[in-house]
Structure formats: structure tokens, C-alpha cells
Amino acid sequence: MSAQSSPSFYVGDLPVYGEAILSPMDGFSDLPFRAMARRLGSAMSYSEFINAIDVMQGHPSVPQKIAYTAAERPMVFQLFDDDPARLLQAALRLRQHEPDIIDVNMGCSAKTVAGRGAGAGLLRQPAKVAQIFSTLSRALDIPVTGKMRLGWDDDSLNYLEIARIVQDNGGQLLAVHGRTKKQAYSGEANWEAIAEVKAALSIPVIGNGDVRTLADIARMRRFTGCDAVMIGRGAIGNPWIFAGLDREDVPAEQVRETMLAHLESMLEFYGAQRGLVLFRKHASRYISPFRLSVEQRQQLLTSQTAADFTRLVDQMSVAELAPA
């Protein structure tokens, strides 16, 4: 919990402190990154999205996806599927691991997910969305929430219909990414649509899309009236945004310390080899503002051991670690 004394909003009876939240991102919002963002000020933690089929079949990836620390609470497990009965069974099974919230993914635009009717594919099936939320909210003793896009494409912008269905069927919070499935991550996020959803609902609404700076957080909250702002790509390489710092305001030594601490937590969580490989996508974003040569960047991002990576960072001058 942050130093903030009064909650920013409630999810059901659950208080949430803070107005900036790390977005669930496949391949990024694992325990090491989430826990760091939470320490820096992210108001709650969302897992990477979890396939309900994997939960029911005991896929070996699930335990790592649902691993979390007590300091991350409120902890949200995000599920995706196109089958309401399987979503329910998966949610009940995950409930045994004591999350604070179960979230339904209605936003993933990946072909393998949306193409089979899950993720953003659910936006084309309003009746199924109603069935999912009514079923889960009746069966679970913790809040059920959702994260959605605006529609499948510009010709099917049914976000207000879906938003009302979520609320009317027991949903306790809705996060809205201001793009369509077809847009994926291209173009501009439509903040006006987020404002419409906020005006139409009585449950908390979280805005998502094109938030990269502190000014963006303030502007989105002012423009949409949303209860909090969800930050995805803008937090990769700049988790300090949750501590109230834009990247150019983070001292080089703080970047170094945080980057190496993040690497260490990745090694502990995934093991030495896999942890280093998975850390590279974070490292490329951490070092992107640095005044480094192409050769220096390549050496860092192809380091074969964590010790080599740390040694190369330690060899860099203060000038090289300053933003370009």
C-alpha cells in the first residue's frame, strides 16, 4: 500500500490506493516486474493473462503465472477463454490460490486468442459476456472485473453495450483500452470513448492507452474522469513512472540499481539461463535512452551470463548512462 491515507476507489469492498496501475501484458507482467512496479507505486497487480484451458489441464506455465507476493495485494488473476463453463471452473480452481480479484480478458487482439472467440473476440458476443459475468460473479466470493477494448473494429464499436452488460451482470470494475481489436496497438487511443464508459457506469473505470508520461496520467484522468490509469508499454523501461518520475528525471545510478535488481529477481524466479534471456527485452528498454554505441548495446543484449551483463554496465561511464 502506498503512503496515501484514503482509497482512490473500491473494487467491491476492496480499497485501492493510487491512480496508476501496471497493465497486464503477456510476457512482461510476471512476478519480478509486477513486484518492482508495485514497490514503486503501482496501485494493484494484474497477472499475465492465463488460459482457462491451461488451468484445467494443469499446464506447467500456470504456477509461475499465478505466483505473487503478499506485498502485491490487491492481486488480480486475469483469465481468458471463450467458454463460460470452463472459465468458471478455472476461476474456482484459481480461487484456491487466494487472489483478491478475478478479471476476464476481453481485450487481447492476438489472432490465436481473439480468433477463437476469446479476448477481444468476446466483444462480438454480448450475450456470452453477460453469461460469463453473471456466472462468475454469482459463484465467486471475490470481485469479478473485466478489461476490454472498444469493439472488434470501427464498424462495431459496442463498448457502451458491453460496459453496461459487465456492470449489470455483477462486474465490479472495468478497464478500457481505447482501441479496437483491429487497431491492435496502432493509431491513437480514443480517450473520448473511455470518458463515455466512465459517464455511463457507477462501478470504477480504469483508462488504458497512450499513457507514457506523468502528464499523460494527469491528462487522461482529467479528460475521461476515470478512477485510475493503466500503463502498459509506457512502463517497460520506465517503472519509475509509478513513483512519479518520467524517465528523463531518473538519475543514472538509480537506473543502474533498479535494472540490476530486476535482473537478479529474474534469475531467482526463472533460473540463471532463462532469467537472463527473458530479461533482455526489459534490458533493451532500460538502455534505450543511454548514449551507447551499437557495439555496446549488442554486447549488453547478448551477454551470456548475468555477471557479464553487470560487468559491462559497471564499465560504462556516467556520461554514457545519461539520457541521450
| Model confidence pLDDT, tens digit, residues 179-234 | 999 998 999 999 999 999 999 999 999 999 999 999 999 999 999 999 999 999 99
Cα–Cα distance for residue pair 131/164, rounded to 1 Å: 13
User: What SS3 string covers 19-59?
Assistant: CEEECCCCCCCCHHHHHHHHHHCCCCEECCCEEHHHHHHCC
- Taking every pair of Cα atoms in the chain, the longest distance, rounded to a whole number of angstroms, is 59
pLDDT > 70: percent of the chain: 97
- What residues are annotated to the active site? 108
Cα–Cα distance for residue pair 116/100, rounded to 1 Å: 28
Q: What's the pTM?
A: 0.95
pLDDT of residue 318: 61
DSSP three-state, residue 165: helix
Q: In sequence order, what are the residues at sequence separation of 6 or more whose Cβ sits closer than 8 angstroms to the Cβ of residue 105?
A: 24, 49, 78, 79, 80, 113, 118, 119, 146, 147
The residue whose grid cell reads 510476471 is 30
Burial environment of residue 320 by CB neighbours within 10 A (0 to 12, 13 to 18, 19 or more): middle
pLDDT of residue 315: 87
Other beta carbons less than 10 A from residue 252's beta carbon: 17
Q: What is the pLDDT of residues 95-121, one digit of tens each?
A: 999 999 999 999 999 999 999 999 999
Cα–Cα distance for residue pair 252/259, rounded to 1 Å: 10
CA distances from 91 to 94, 168, 185, 189, 242 (A): 5, 20, 28, 30, 29
Confidence bin at 2 (pLDDT 50/70/90): very low
Cα–Cα distance for residue pair 61/159, rounded to 1 Å: 32
Other beta carbons less than 10 A from residue 275's beta carbon: 18
What's the Rg (C-alpha) of the chain?
Answer: 20
pLDDT of residue 273: 96
> How many alpha carbons fall within 13 Å on the CB side of residue 314?
7
Cell numbers representing residue 68 in the block: 505473487
Give the phi and the psi of residue 45 in degrees, each rounded to 5: -120, 130
Cell numbers representing residue 263 in the block: 535482473
pLDDT of residue 252: 87
